[in-house]
Amino acid sequence: MESNKAEKSVHASQHPYIGMWVTEDGNIRHELLPNGRYDEARGQRQSAYTGSYILEDDYIEYVDDTGFTAEGVFKNGVLYHAGMVFYREVKK
């Protein structure tokens, strides 16, 4: 994405997509942090993947700290990312 788009995509703590997203089985936990970073846990492995992200409308672009990129889309309260389906974690 262009740098001016990144500047327009502010990562405010009030953004509706900020927070924890999990697969149905809970094995993959993907946290979108308000500072534009993400932290993904897999099984017992905390911080398996970390990096930055840019939100633009319902589209999300990830840049992992190791350099690979990925994308996803939010539809009807569900995050579709890299062939996986994530749901908003509901705090109990």
pLDDT in tens, 19-61: 999 999 999 999 999 999 999 999 999 999 999 999 999 999 9
Residue type, 40: E
* Contact by Cβ (8 Å): 31, 39: yes
If one compares 9 and 76, the residue with the highest pLDDT of the two is: 76
Q: What is the pTM of this model?
A: 0.82
Number of domains in the chain: 1
Residue closest to 65 by CA, chosen among 54, 53, 52, 55: 52
**CA 45: distance to chain centroid?**
17
Domain of 61 in residue numbering reads as 3-88
DSSP 80: E
* Domain of residue 30, CATH code: 2.40.128.290
CA distances from 30 to 5, 7, 22, 51 (A): 23, 23, 6, 11
